Structure 1
């Protein structure tokens, strides 16, 4: 039917319109000018319809997964228009779909789309950063931005591991570094983003130090803004221990203790503290309980147990004797 309509419109365009010699030569131009537009529209529609039989689109349509069927439906409606294809690809990225799948979508679409998977991931991460920063970015409902970011980063990591060279770990780090370094944003999501990056990519030693530095700087800016931190303060365990001791000595408020907890969680585990009394977690808990008021001792005791349990099955997991000490202190 579309081909027949195209043929008819071409006939109208190519066939000279009969005019009587007395006709105004301007007559009829208004209606005739729409034929090329209609022809272009129909030719684009036909080209798009032909892509619906592509094996990739058919695999989406015939999938048993509802979300993949939805992608096929929205692609059908898009007419391969650049903006709609871009929005669909970003939605797929936010869903954590493989980058190769996104690349296939962009390749199937007709016309000069000129959008790369790297563009798509960048847009998706920009939207996630906006949501983490308290902006109005729509991440499709009430999804947790950090969980969405985890899906996107996971897709990038898988792509890198497969040698696809679509988006690199450095690209993701470059896009997220400004958010992590911006002290006007809440500290906890910035720390969680940095931890996610550290867990997801094989970082160089220098990048690893940089991530630890960003984590430390973000926490100190939130609780000890007067204390300027340098990368030398965190480059080895001895220096981190010195910094921790300094901050612990000056801490008396609950908010400061909470940020010390974040600090220890953000750092690599301290392995050299064999003496129980010198373990930073034991020192922190002891300070929390000895410096608190009688009124909030019970709530702090509950917080201590929560700390202990939160460290199970993590790199910060405490030795048995430390856990027992926690329970005794609380």
Structure 2
């Protein structure tokens, strides 16, 4: 039986649409839809896709297009961005795009927003055309975006059509206390990227929960944390599957871009001690093992953080093994 705390929180999925070694971008996109259909049947709450650019291992750059593809192929699971990197886009364009999605798929679309570039600095310049961002740009752009979704702009010369008057929930994403403070001040739900940036998780949650100001969007704090989960029948099998995630992290810290690699029996000889230490720190909130192991660790994490929702990303090379990992996790939160 799962603990009471797990029965009281929601479980969702973050997919970065990974390309696996030996397979195509189209294969990765089809896998994304298949995974969404799979977790929908398992009663996960939402399926989010994150915006990334110029990465051989991820093909989620045209995030809105993929969201439409997934939404069309599913029927009840919420579909959204985890997130759209707002500094890369004009708020009006984002409002129109998500207004279009919300018109096509009513009451199913989420808009998660981040302020990181989702890529390297050179690619960020190509996206943003050398526009320099000030500290107030992100809060101001969020406000502009919110204004486009309200009915108050009917007399304004620039309107988001479709978009105006639609209920598109906005979530703020972040990996620092800045985003936590902003989400609290604006009275928006907050998702922390603890799957790759664990260090400020508890500081951010403390600031968010204690500074939260109720808004028309949300009356009390709603916090979410993203974690890595790799579940299998045994701890030993899961540890082998996790080597694909470790190799992906190696590529991040060494700037070696390549598709998601098959698992190996051991990372010995692949990473040096200092690299292992860096990756272990980066992936601190990674839960690897059998159903029993995962349940124990996830319960402890949820108890300590008191988040209302867990968003789970699983970088597993074999697609069927990745689906099985989400199946095992679902058995924990539905038992």
Q: What TM-score do the two structures reach when normalised by structure 1?
A: 0.25
Structure whose residues are more often strand by fraction: 2
Radius of gyration: which is bigger? Answer: 1
Structure whose residues are more often helix by fraction: 1
Higher relative contact order (CA 8 A, sep 6+): 2
